[in-house]
Amino acid sequence: MESKGSWTVADAVDYNGLPADKSKTGGWITAALILGIEVVERLSTMGIAVNLVTYLMETMHLPSSNSANIVTDFMGTSFLLCLLGGFLADSFLGRFKTIAIFSTLQALGTGALAVATKLPELRPPTCHHGEACTPATAFQMTFLYIALYLIALGTGGLKSSISGFGSDQFDDKDPKEKAQMAFFFNRFFFIISMGTLMAVTVLVYIQDEVGRSWAYGICTVSMAIAIAVFLSGTKSYRYKKSQGSPVVQIFQIIAASIRKRKTELPQSIVYLYEDTPEGLRIEHTDQFRMLDKAAVVTEGDFEQTLDGIAIPNPWKLSSVTKVEEVKMMVRLLPIWATTIIFWTTYAQMITFSVEQASTMRRNVGNFQIPAGSLTVFFVAAILITLAFYDRVIMPFWKKWKGKPGFSSLQLMAIGLVLSTIGMAAAAIVEQKRLSVAKSSTQKTLPISVFLLVPQFFLVGSGEAFIYTGQLDFFITQSPKGMKTMSTGLFLTTLSLGFFVSSFLVSIVKKVTATSVNGGWLADNINHGRLDLFYWLLVILSGINFVVYVICALWFKPTKSKDSEEMEKGKGFSVEDC
C-alpha cells in the first residue's frame, strides 16, 4: 500500500497552504489554464510592436527615426522589466499573484491604447496630400506613452512567471508527471508561436483595414477572458513558496568582500568558511579571488541567536559555495555582453524593415499585404529552422560526432553569423530600393516587397539559433538556485539590444544630419541612406563576433550534476523561459 506522502508533492502546497494532493491539484490540464494569458500577451505585444512604427509615422506624424526609437524603447523596457517581475515573484508576491497583477496591468494598457487610437482628441488631425503635417502634441504622446508602458510593465511581469508557474504544476520527481510536463511545454512553445503568427497576420490586418481601436479592443477583451480562465483554476493550482531573490545573495557577497578588502587570504582554502552540505558544495576556483574574501572568517562575523547559537551574518560572511555561485554568474557576463548586438540587429526587423515595406509594392492579386505582416517570414523562419535543427541536424550530428547537437556556444555563434549576413542582405536590398526611389515619383515604389524576405529569413533563423543557445547556456552554466535570475539576465540581452538600437539611431542621425538633408536616417527614408546604417551594423556585428569568439574560448564551463543531465538531453525547452 502506498504511503500518504506519495500522493502529495514535497515542495508544493495547495490553495489552503496544505501539502498539495496530486489527485486534486496540478497536472497538464490545470497548467493549460495558465497558457491563455501567455498566448494573449504574445498576441498583444507582438501585434503592437510590428505595426507601431507605421502608426507613429502616418497617424501621429513623427519622423521615422523617432518612431523607430519609440518602438525599440518600448520593447527594450518590456524585457528589462522581466527582472522586476522576477524579483517580485521570488521575494514577495509568488508567481500566482504576480501573473494576476501584471496581466491586469497589461489589459489596462491595451484598453488605454484602444482609447488612444479611437478618440480624435488623442491624435493630430489627418494630413492631406500636399499639406504640412501637424505632429502629435505633448498631451497626445503622453497618453500614448502611458498606454504603451502599462503594456510593457504587464509583459515584464508575465514573462518572468508564466512558464515557471506552469512548471510548478508538475512534480519532476514523479516520472509520469515529468513526462506530462515535457508534453505540456512542447505544446506551450507551439501554441505561443501560433499566437505570434496571429499577431503579425490577422491582428495587423485588422489594425490596417478595420481599425486599430478594434484590434486593441480585441486584445483587451481576450486578456480579460484569459484572466478569468486563469483565476478559475485558483483552487486547483499547486503553489511553491518563494525562496528569496538571489540578487540579495550577490549583494551580500560583494558587501562582505569589500568590507574585508584589506584582509589577507589564507594560504589554504581549507581555512575558508563552508557550511554547505557535502553533496551540494561547489569546488573552489582561483578566478575572481577578491570575492573569496567574503568567506574569510574574521572577528564579528557571527551573531548570537536567542538560543545562544552562533550563526554567520550573511552581510559579513558567506560560504565558499555561495561565493562560487556568484563567480559562476560573473563568468557568464562576457558571453552575455557579446550577444546583445544580435538583438540590436533584430530591432531593425520591426522598425526600419517595416518602413521599407510600407514604401514597396505589396500586392498579391487584389490583396495588399500590410507592411507589418512581412514579419510573418521572420516567424516562419524561426519555426522552420527549429524543426530542421531538431529533425535533421541533431540526428546527423549525433551520428557523426556522437553528440546530440551543437553546444550552446556554437549555437550562439551561428546566430551571430546569420544576423550579420542578414544585415548585409538588407543593405544590398536597400541600395536597390533607393535607386528605384530616385527615379520614381510614385508613393508606392515599383519594386516588390518580397525582396525583403531574405533579411527577415536570415535574421529569423539567427534568432532560432541564438535564442536556444542563450537559453541553454544561461540555464546550464548558472547555479541551481540562480536559474531564474540567469534567465532574467538572458532576457536583458534583448532589452539592451533594443536600447542600443535607439542609441545608435540617435547618434547616427545627429552625426550625419546637415542643414541641407536629414542624413542617413532622414525623416523620409526615401531621402536618406538607410543602407549605410545597415552596413554600419554589419561592421559592428563583425567586430562583435571576433570578440565573442575570444570570450567563448576563455570561458570554462562549470560541470555539475544538473548541467550534465541537461547536456544529455540537450534541446530547447520553453520550461526554462
pLDDT higher than threshold 80 for residue 184: no
What integer pLDDT is reported at residue 577 of this predicted model? 36
Domains 10-244 and 328-577 share a fold: yes
Q: What is the mean pLDDT of residues 170-195?
A: 74
- What's the rounded Cα separation, in Å, for the pair 479 and 332? 11
Place of cell 538607410: 530
> By the 8 A CB rule, do 374 and 353 touch?
yes
pLDDT higher than threshold 80 for residue 529: yes
Cα–Cα distances in Å, from 484 out to 107, 279, 466, 481?
Answer: 25, 22, 19, 8
Report pLDDT digits (tens) over 310-332.
888 889 999 888 888 888 888 88
pLDDT higher than threshold 70 for residue 140: yes
Identify the three-state secondary structure at position 402.
Answer: coil
555: confidence class by pLDDT, cuts 50, 70, 90: confident
Task: Tell me the pLDDT of the chain averaged across its residues.
Answer: 84
- What's the rounded Cα separation, in Å, for the pair 498 and 505? 11
- What's the rounded Cα separation, in Å, for the pair 480 and 528? 50
Place of cell 533579411: 455
- Residue 47: closest CA among 227, 212, 162: 212
What integer pLDDT is reported at residue 418 of this predicted model? 96
Which CATH architecture is the domain 10-244 placed in? Up-down Bundle (1.20)
163: confidence class by pLDDT, cuts 50, 70, 90: confident
Q: What is the mean pLDDT of residues 345-374?
A: 86
Alpha helices in 210-283 (DSSP H): 212-232, 246-259
> By the 8 A CB rule, do 334 and 555 touch?
yes
- Residue 76: closest CA among 370, 390, 493, 427: 493
Report pLDDT digits (tens) over 17-39.
888 888 888 888 888 888 889 88
Q: What is the mean pLDDT of residues 483-502?
A: 83
Identify the three-state secondary structure at position 520.
Answer: coil
CB neighbourhood size of 202 (10 A)? 15
Q: What is the mean pLDDT of residues 135-161?
A: 91
Answer yes or no: pTM beyond 0.85. no
- What's the rounded Cα separation, in Å, for the pair 334 and 311? 36
> Angle, to 10 degrees, between the axis of helix 376-388 and the axis of helix 453-476?
50
pLDDT higher than threshold 80 for residue 280: no
- What's the rounded Cα separation, in Å, for the pair 134 and 46? 28
Residue 328 sits at φ, ψ, to 5 deg, of: -60, -40
pLDDT higher than threshold 60 for residue 367: yes
pLDDT higher than threshold 50 for residue 131: yes
What integer pLDDT is reported at residue 516 of this predicted model? 65
% of the chain surpassing 70 pLDDT: 92
What integer pLDDT is reported at residue 182 of this predicted model? 65
pLDDT higher than threshold 90 for residue 112: yes
What integer pLDDT is reported at residue 1 of this predicted model? 38
**CB < 8 Å & 24+ apart, contacts of 148-151:** 148/48, 148/70, 148/74, 148/109, 148/113, 149/74, 149/77, 149/109, 150/105, 150/106, 150/108, 150/109, 150/112, 151/44, 151/45, 151/48, 151/74, 151/78, 151/106, 151/109, 151/110, 151/113
| Residue boundaries of the structural domains of the chain | 10-244, 246-318, 328-577
What integer pLDDT is reported at residue 243 of this predicted model? 63
Q: DSSP letter for 216, please.
A: H
Identify the three-state secondary structure at position 268.
Answer: coil
- What's the rounded Cα separation, in Å, for the pair 347 and 447? 24
Which of 1-5, 396-400, 410-414, 472-476 has the largest mean confidence? 410-414
Report pLDDT digits (tens) over 68-92.
899 999 989 998 888 888 888 877 7
461: confidence class by pLDDT, cuts 50, 70, 90: very high
CATH says 328-577 is which class? mainly alpha
